[in-house]
Amino acid sequence: MPQDPQNPPTLADICAHLEAEGLAKYKWPERLELIDALPRTQIGKISKVTLRADISAKLEHETTAQTGGHGVIGRTGPR
């Protein structure tokens, strides 16, 4: 949870911090997703399966929106 929920960190803020710490750029995040709570399993563990499914659905939606519903960006014809 951000220290100030009204002013959460941006991806640029996080990358600036990681750069100052000397972390290699290939380890930096590509995106930042703010969520209210992490999904949990029935026994209270973080549900990585649900997290992966959620981000996959978001990425699919973004790709479809960017390409006008025609699949992967850069594809020119059927495979």
- The pLDDT tens digits along the chain (79 residues) read 567 778 889 999 999 999 999 999 999 999 898 888 999 999 999 999 999 999 999 999 988 887 776 655 554 444 4
Strands, E assignment, 17-72: none
- Which pLDDT belongs to residue 18? 97
- Model-level pTM greater than 0.75? no
Alpha-carbon distance values, 3 to 6, 37, 72 (Å): 9, 15, 38
Domain boundaries, the chain: 1-34, 37-70
Q: Using CA atoms, how far apart are residues 42 and 9, in angstroms rounded to an integer?
A: 30
- Which pLDDT belongs to residue 77? 47
